[in-house]
Chains A and B, each alone.
Chain A
Amino acid sequence: MAVSRDDFSIAFRSALLQRGGAQKFSILSLTILAIFIFFLDIYDFTFVKKTRSIINDIVFRVSYITSSPSRFIPNLGESINSHLFLKKENEELQQVIEKYKSLDLNLEYLTNENRNLRKILDAENIINDKKHIVLAKVLIDRNSPFLKSIIINKGTQSGIKKGMPVTQDSYLIGRIVETNYLSSRILLLTDLNSRIPVTLGANSIQAILTGSGSQYPKLEYLPEEYEAKDGVTIFASGKDGFFTPGTPIGITTFNTGKYTNQVKLFVDPNQLSFVTVNIIRQNKEKF
């Protein structure tokens, strides 16, 4: 029995302290170092924050380069196909352009009307100027099972701050949760940690859009008497002072979805290449 205990303790100690060959450091020393780094990062000391920001920028850039083959190979087949059907596609696109030209006239009228109505509403935080928008490229889109976030190639250098809304083609996709000098992390609407105040329907019903970890976020805190309907467009309500009110997000799929109160987003979060960060001022309530 004593021999067996000795045997256990020798193997245990050896596993923790053993070095040699490729094992330049013992597991014990590295564990202590990892715990030390972990707590330094958790308690957010200024110098750690700055160091992490620099490390992030470097690692994200290297990651972008190393991921290039994985991005190139799946797109290769698509590129060949698109070249083969170029003529047909061109004809189709010309038809689409004609259609949009006719719609453009109508749009101009509606834009003017919308602008005038917004002036009446005195919505200070609605800013659509190009100077308030930063176009950014998606550097890393690592589809983690636990966290749904992407990295973009613009950071505090371009005026990006935490909490700023991020859109693609004017559709809301998430918000900034981490900023570095040359890069930022966007928390997507599908992430379990995402909560966005939204409005829907003709009666401007208020609700919270909650990420579910799957492709479809859910609506929570709907009024009890609310009658669920499919195909209702969801907009950001802007109640939090971060998101621009009226930014479209998705449509309800209450009855057709797999789960209850699901929302189908207008933008597929797995297909993002370029996004826009809306550098708007935080709308502070004046009492």
Chain B
Amino acid sequence: MAKFNLLNKIFNTGPLLLLYYLSISEIDTNLEKVFEIFTFNLPIIIIYFWILKRPSVLGTGHIFVAGLINDVVMGYPLGISSLSYLVVCFFSNYVRNKSVNTTIASDWITFFVALIFANLLFFSLLNNFSDVVISYTKIGYNTFFTLFLFPILWLFFSFYQANFIGGQDA
């Protein structure tokens, strides 16, 4: 029983470790080498899915810290990624409070709204308060592929939740 609990705890921390690892490591989801325009924002998908389905897996404090680490590694002004992640968190929390049963389609639509707001905040802050110039085309591609890949990752995370973590939080 104790062994089972330990395993369960390890699986529970999986999404959080992945979020931290994506923030701090060289690993990225910029696959421009594979396909010229292919980039997507995996941390946002992780945050949205797990806050929606299993909030006990990702704490908001951890999300905030992961955002700060991401800013340090990427060279963005401190706090900007945290703000963007917290916007996603807020939308996800709101959808969870408002709905009883969600489907992949409903999650996809609400994720689109969350993604648009998070990116809007991120890039308008970067544009207005920093000297960093960013290509709008790339922002568009990034947003599109993040949205496009959401259902695939939704299925993958659902499978992980069903097989390694367990049912939904209360």
* Chain A residues at the B interface, C-beta cutoff of 8 Å: 7, 10-12, 14-16, 18, 21-27, 30-31, 33-38, 40-42, 52, 55-56, 59-60, 62-63, 66-67, 70-71, 140-147, 149, 151, 177-178, 185, 192-193, 213-214, 270
Contact = CB atoms under 8 A, between A and B. Distances in A.
Given A33-B64, A55-B72, A178-B75, A27 B26 contact: no
A280 B68 CA distance: 34
A141 B76 CA distance: 15
Contact of B74 (A10, A18, A142): A142
B97 A11 contact: yes
Contact of B94 (A11, A35, A40): A11
B74 A144 contact: yes
Given A14-B93, A35-B83, A145-B30, A30 B61 contact: yes
B25 interface: yes
Interface in B129-160: 129-135, 138-139, 141-142
Interface residues of B, number: 56
List of 4 A-B pairs having minimum Cβ-Cβ separation, nearest first: A38-B79, A67-B26, A15-B93, A145-B39
Interface stretch (B3-11, B52-60, B100-108): B52-60
A24 B24 contact: no
A21 B64 CA distance: 16
A192 B134 CA distance: 7
A178 B32 CA distance: 25
B83 A213 contact: no
B60 A23 contact: yes
A127 B88 CA distance: 51
B60 A42 contact: no
B27 interface: yes
A14 B74 contact: no
Contacts of B32: 143, 145
B74 to A, nearest CB: 6
Given A27-B89, A34-B86, A146 B58 contact: no
